Structure 1
Amino acid sequence: MTGSPTIGTAADLVATLTARLGSAGVLTDPDVTMTYARDRLPLAPSGTPLAVVFPSTTEDVQAVVRSCADAGIPVVPRGAGSGLCGGANALEGCVVLVSTRMNRIVEVDPANRLAVVEPGVINADLRAAVAEHDLFYPPDPASYDFCTLGGNLATNAGGLCCVKYGVTTDSVLGLEVVLADGSVLRTGRRTVKGVAGYDLTKLFVGSEGTLGVITQATLSLRPRPQAPGTLVAVFGRTADAGAAVTRIVGEGLVPSLMEIMDAATVAAVEQHLGTDLGAGDSGGGTLLLCQSDAGGEAAVRELEVLERVCAEAGAALVHSTSDPAEGAMLMQARRAVHPAIESMGAHMTDDVCVPRTRIADLIDGCARISADVGLRIVVNGHAGDGNMHPTVIYGGDDEFDRARSAFDAICELGLGLGGTVSGEHGIGKFKQDWLAHELGPVGLRVHRDIRRALDPDGVFNPGSMFA
């Protein structure tokens, strides 16, 4: 990209965008645009955007991209701003392209089990719409009731059901993407199978707005599962909880959900909800939450095996229920984790993924890091796939450096356990150095080459993922 635009160039660009999108579709008041300048990770760097724009069609997106490219002004794509890596954070003088007005569910095709959607559709709204056809869209990030599918696609979001149904990319058949020159690329297919050409669909999923702007997606659906049965187990030792996870996988079980919360997380949720999850009463601390949506007798048998495995692994308390209301209450505790942590004050949420057999090692390692830096670290995550979210709590600017040191130590720990520095949140503008460390020089060069091939002038989200 060129350097900062002249005042004339900036004013001309705003006028051009306003002529295309209307005054309601272009925001320039700094007090307003700053509310679109960052996602939910307040620590990643951000700047003041020149303008925030709200296209309604693919053609609008094409016009915005072409106009910005001509003016030498970068474009930062953004959904609902629910991300946790700074990937949608504004650059100084950029145009933030918000996709929330592109919110149509274009088609639901029950016979072929697919849906065609625009990027501004809320995850929960798609789930509700396809449920009317007895179908199910599996990816369910913790923010599913307000995050957009475009953001889910950009970060390859996961969620609680990944253990059985996979992450976002596992439900994507094809995409429509506006490229840096304003042209429209259509990838993928509507068929179950297809190996014609490179898999460009998977290339764009998880690219964090650095390769193009996704304007439509064709998503695969599944038959709607039956109401799940739920199990909760409490362990006095983290190692026992880790052993239970390893044995569950070894037994060949594939629960639809398997979540883990350490004692500090349980305490935070209890305080936030004003409830008692029973962990302290049982002399335990680490909580394992599982669900089975196999249905009928199959679900009963799966829960019985889960209960036996947890008890044999040393659980101080094991309780299962087929009552949907009771199961929903237990799930409320898991979905309240992030709000509970937010209520504790300033925090850094990490997102490392380790082999499932190393989950206990990660939790114990985080406890050592906590003692080393003198700050509280709470750990929770998706035990079913090893994707953990250690969160460092700190008291303000005076503790920021120690918190960042702990954050980095957790990334190093995750890699040392054979894992990755991001399981679902992405890299954004906060983990570039760790991505480079994980990829290595050859991997980083290939990534940069791909990015330059699709966006040679650096129109899209420069500085995100890697320089």
Structure 2
Amino acid sequence: MTTIESLSRALPADIIITDPDVMERYLHDDAEWAPFEPALAVIRPRSTDQVLAAVTWCIDNRVAVVPRGSGTGLSGGANSLAGSLVISLDAMDRVIDVDPVERTARVQPGVINEHLRTRVAEDGLWYPPDPASAPWSSIGGNVATNAGGLCCVKYGVTGEYVISLEMVTGTGKLVRLGRRTTKDVAGYDLRGLVVGSEGTLGVITEITVRLLPLPPVGTAIVGYFDSLVAAGQGVANVTAAGVIPSALELVDKYCLKAVDDWKNMGLSADAEAILLAATDAPGAAGVEEARTIVEAFEAAGATFAAVSENDEEADAFFAARRLAYPALERLGPVLTEDICVARSKVPEVLARIQQIAQSHDTVIAQIAHAGDGNLHPLLVTPPGDDEARQRAQAAFEEIIAVALEFGGTVSGEHGIGLLKRDGLAAELSPDVIDMHVAVKRALDPHGIMNPGKVFESRPATTSQAASEQL
């Protein structure tokens, strides 16, 4: 019996994909130049029982498991390994229930972020985590990388809203972690351990998230700056003023032009960079916050700073921020950074990134969740230019080194995947890495769960014994 025949006995035939042309789109995420290899097969399970059967089969046959959401990741975390089984969770896309009283929603991992937000709004509720990929990314993928978003400066990242989850572990067990109660301190926080684990500990099959009441309509503030460093100082000034805006985003001129050329949105900014802020504080408090933000921008040298009196204009700028990455992808391959530094260090780090761009002769466009110090330099290269690719990759590594030099982290929300394993090894001490590896071995003793992601070590083949996996 062939391996595929054995898999077909374990799972329904209609969820198994083996046609190479159909499989191709499931073999990698959006991380530029992150390697991937041909998989044994792709499956699209429709239930937890099917995921459990698939993982059990993989344990028995020593086949690596690569969990996948919508494939919008930017670090290679969902990229396939040679001979692996890719478990795509996009068909598990039901909002199972919404509890307006307890303010919770229970969802399958394939639910699209924006679809959940639209559904709970029907009950006057709000799911705050909102990555720029919200119209396309799935909740399961958001949980796997502990994604952030535009609102996280005030409302926090995904992990702060996951109260419980269901997962198939690398031991082939179906477990529930966390509680649906308001408070839960019984035992270790295993729920928190799984959030951000990038599929290396198990396959998430269900998630319960907490919700908030819909916030009031916010007030937008726009600031124009003649340099990125001045815009960075605007961010630092807002922080020093003690204001916590509901959003504080940076977009440079290069990104705005790319979006405008693509979507013809009529955007124009006589500036090298703009800061987009918002406050959703009610009444007089919101007016005062907006005034303070304008003053913070002006003190940083803004050439223009004002509360937006035109909601359509403000919406267009925020839409441009979300569209910046796909707009740049139209110009050529884009390698995306995800460093995070203290907000007071943003001006210096932005200046260093500009220097890196010049020294490596690489176009680096700038967008950022600036309000929490999460910078996303976008390294743009011409299609098919190998020398430009090599320069961009060298610049990528240097930016990571700068983040660590300034006491920051290599990833604020995209995860480690394949692209930032060296950076993580430089960020964490050997003792802390040993703790990670110990946890991995405990929950994945067969070494089959997304091996080679997050940490460098990986099996030479997917059929080696557990002792050779790490």
TM-score of the superposed pair, with normalisation by structure 2: 0.94
Q: Which amino acid aligns with 2:9?
A: T
Secondary structure, aligned partner of 1:97: strand
Q: Go from structure 1 to structure 2 and tell me whether the alpha carbon gap of 1:322 and 1:263 turns closer, same or farther (over 3 Å shift).
A: closer
Secondary structure, aligned partner of 2:81: coil
Mapped contact 1:378–1:391 kept (Cα < 8 A): yes
Residue 437 (structure 1) aligned with residue 426 (structure 2): yes
Q: Go from structure 1 to structure 2 and tell me whether the alpha carbon gap of 1:275 and 1:69 turns closer, same or farther (over 3 Å shift).
A: same
Higher mean alpha-carbon deviation, 75-84 vs 181-190, is at 181-190
Q: Take 1:197 and 1:358, find their aligned partners in 2: how far apart are those partners?
A: 37
Q: Which amino acid aligns with 1:250?
A: A
Deviations 1:184-225 (A, max 9, x none): 111111112111100011100000000011111110101100
Residue 289 (structure 1) aligned with residue 276 (structure 2): yes
Q: 1:378 aligns with which of 342, 348, 365?
A: 365
Mapped contact 2:92–2:109 kept (Cα < 8 A): yes
Q: Take 2:123 and 2:278, find their aligned partners in 1: how far apart are those partners?
A: 23
For residue 248 of structure 1, what is the aligned residue in structure 2? 238
Residue 103 (structure 1) aligned with residue 103 (structure 2): no
Mapped contact 2:32–2:334 kept (Cα < 8 A): no
For residue 452 of structure 1, what is the aligned residue in structure 2? 441
For residue 208 of structure 1, what is the aligned residue in structure 2? 198
For residue 406 of structure 1, what is the aligned residue in structure 2? 395
Q: Which amino acid aligns with 2:6?
A: L
Question: How much identity, in percent, do the aligned residues show?
Answer: 43
Q: Take 1:138 and 1:464, find their aligned partners in 2: how far apart are those partners?
A: 28
For residue 299 of structure 2, what is the aligned residue in structure 1? 312
Deviation of 1:276 after TM superposition, in Å, equals: 5.0
For residue 465 of structure 2, what is the aligned residue in structure 1? none
Superposed counterparts of 1:17-28, under 5 Å: 17=10, 20-21=11-12, 23-28=13-18
Q: Take 1:416 and 1:440, find their aligned partners in 2: how far apart are those partners?
A: 15
Q: Take 1:382 and 1:229, find their aligned partners in 2: how far apart are those partners?
A: 18
Q: 1:303 aligns with which of 290, 298, 319?
A: 290
For residue 112 of structure 1, what is the aligned residue in structure 2? 102
Secondary structure, aligned partner of 2:182: coil
For residue 13 of structure 1, what is the aligned residue in structure 2? 6
Mapped contact 1:258–1:291 kept (Cα < 8 A): yes
For residue 65 of structure 1, what is the aligned residue in structure 2? 55
Superposed counterparts of 1:167-182, under 5 Å: 167-182=157-172
Mapped contact 2:232–2:350 kept (Cα < 8 A): no
Q: Which amino acid aligns with 1:72?
A: R
Q: 2:128 aligns with which of 121, 130, 138?
A: 138
Q: Which amino acid aligns with 1:305?
A: T
Deviation of 1:381 after TM superposition, in Å, equals: 0.6
Q: Take 2:117 and 2:48, find their aligned partners in 1: how far apart are those partners?
A: 23
Higher mean alpha-carbon deviation, 259-268 vs 113-122, is at 259-268
Mapped contact 2:7–2:57 kept (Cα < 8 A): no
Superposed counterparts of 1:37-52, under 5 Å: 37-52=27-42
Deviations 1:309-341 (A, max 9, x none): 212221101132255433322211111211221
Deviation of 1:361 after TM superposition, in Å, equals: 1.3
Residue 394 (structure 1) aligned with residue 381 (structure 2): yes
Mapped contact 2:259–2:327 kept (Cα < 8 A): yes
Q: Take 2:261 and 2:139, find their aligned partners in 1: how far apart are those partners?
A: 32
Deviations 1:18-57 (A, max 9, x none): xx22x32100011111111000113111011111101111
Mapped contact 1:130–1:137 kept (Cα < 8 A): yes
For residue 462 of structure 1, what is the aligned residue in structure 2? 451
Q: Take 1:42 and 1:310, find their aligned partners in 2: how far apart are those partners?
A: 34
TM-score of the superposed pair, with normalisation by structure 1: 0.94
Q: Take 2:229 and 2:248, find their aligned partners in 1: how far apart are those partners?
A: 16
Runs of 4+ in 1 over 6 A off after TM superposition: none
Deviation of 1:9 after TM superposition, in Å, equals: 4.5
Deviations 1:225-279 (A, max 9, x none): 0121111101113332222212211222111100012333333333333355442
CA root-mean-square deviation:
1.4
Superposed counterparts of 1:340-379, under 5 Å: 340-379=327-366
Q: Take 2:228 and 2:205, find their aligned partners in 1: how far apart are those partners?
A: 44
Mapped contact 1:164–1:256 kept (Cα < 8 A): yes
Structure 2 unpaired stretches of 5+: 458-470
Q: Which amino acid aligns with 1:254?
A: I
Mapped contact 2:91–2:110 kept (Cα < 8 A): yes
Deviations 1:396-450 (A, max 9, x none): 2232211110100010011111100001000101111111111121111111111
Superposed counterparts of 1:155-194, under 5 Å: 155-194=145-184
Q: Take 2:284 and 2:294, find their aligned partners in 1: how far apart are those partners?
A: 15
Q: Which amino acid aligns with 1:246?
A: A
Secondary structure, aligned partner of 2:303: strand
Mapped contact 1:16–1:67 kept (Cα < 8 A): no
Q: Take 1:256 and 1:309, find their aligned partners in 2: how far apart are those partners?
A: 16
Higher mean alpha-carbon deviation, 291-300 vs 362-371, is at 291-300
For residue 336 of structure 1, what is the aligned residue in structure 2? 323
The number of residues matched between the two structures is 454
For residue 427 of structure 1, what is the aligned residue in structure 2? 416
Higher mean alpha-carbon deviation, 371-380 vs 300-309, is at 300-309
Deviation of 1:141 after TM superposition, in Å, equals: 0.8
Q: Take 1:13 and 1:461, find their aligned partners in 2: how far apart are those partners?
A: 21
Q: Which amino acid aligns with 2:426?
A: H
For residue 468 of structure 2, what is the aligned residue in structure 1? none
